[in-house]
Chain A
Amino acid sequence: ETGVTQTPRHLVMGMTNKKSLKCEQHLGHNAMYWYKQSAKKPLELMFVYSLEERVENNSVPSRFSPECPNSSHLFLHLHTLQPEDSALYLCASSQVWDRFYEQYFGPGTRLTVT
């Protein structure tokens, strides 16, 4: 798990709180991703950053706001969340040099919205 780290590992927040999830990759990759994993649902791609520019935003509610200050760091800013936003949030990175690449995932942040 030293390749991609995520903090915090667990987060409980009220619907009026503002919090941020942090992801850091130590692999020298140039693309980073946020996924949401809810119970009994497939992993959902939320955001993609390539070379620090957002290239994909899969109709994610505006209460989720990503930030990628450099190629090694990715944040997900959270505000006024809903209970249905409770899930495991996974960060991933990859080296985009060809059409074929694998993604390296962090351990995730277990988010509970009360």
Chain B
Amino acid sequence: SQQGEEDPQALSIQEGENATMNCSYKTSINNLQWYRQNSGRGLVHLILIRSNEREKHSGRLRVTLDTSKKSSSLLITASRAADTASYFCATDSGGGADGLTFGKGTHLIIQP
């Protein structure tokens, strides 16, 4: 069954604006990760937040995690045209070599 559910499914903003994407999940997790995928390509890992963390930053990325609400958000500040891509949240519920469970993703378009 689908674990992560991103919201919105699509988002179009102007370059320089901030983009916020949300992710909800259903079961308890060890960690939550965000990935980016450019059209028809492989996924690129962006950031991992552990279940005992509430916020994490990496460059222009800010991720929050609320385990009580089973939700996470990804904020991209000062967006650039190169940020145009699909963004996925993925959860790891087990340990060791479990695969990740992905949502359907948010397609982000940055208008120049």
A43 touches B42 (CB 8 A): no
- In the complex, which residues of chain A have a beta carbon less than 8 angstroms from the beta carbon of B100? 43, 45, 103
Interface size class on chain B is 20 to 34
CB distance from A47 to the nearest CB of B (A): 8
Instruction: Determine which of B43, B92, B97 lies in contact with A90 in the assembled complex, contact meaning CB atoms within 8 Å.
Output: B43
CA distance A58 to B45 in the complex (A): 23
Structural contact, B43 and A102, CB atoms closer than 8 A: no
Interface residues in A46-65 by Cβ distance below 8 A to B read 48-50, 55-56, 58
Q: Who on chain B is nearest to A43 by CB?
A: B102
Q: Is the interface on chain A under 10, 10 to 19, 20 to 34, or 35 or more residues?
A: 20 to 34
Pairwise interchain contact B104-A100, C-beta atoms closer than 8 A: no
> Chain B 61-103, CB within 8 Å of chain A: the 1/0 string?
0000000000000000000000000001010100111111111
Mostly helix, strand, loop or mixed at chain A's interface?
strand
For B41, list chain A residues within 8 Å (CB): 107-108
Asked if A94 CB lies within 8 Å of chain B CBs, one says yes
Contact pick for A102, options B48, B96, B104, B105, CB 8 Å: B48
CB distance from B15 to the nearest CB of A (A): 26
| With A45-B99, A48-B97, A94-B97: A100-B45 Cβ-Cβ less than 8 Å | no
Interface residues, chain B, with chain A CB atoms under 8 Å away: 2, 4, 30-31, 33, 35, 40-45, 48, 50, 88, 90, 92, 95-105
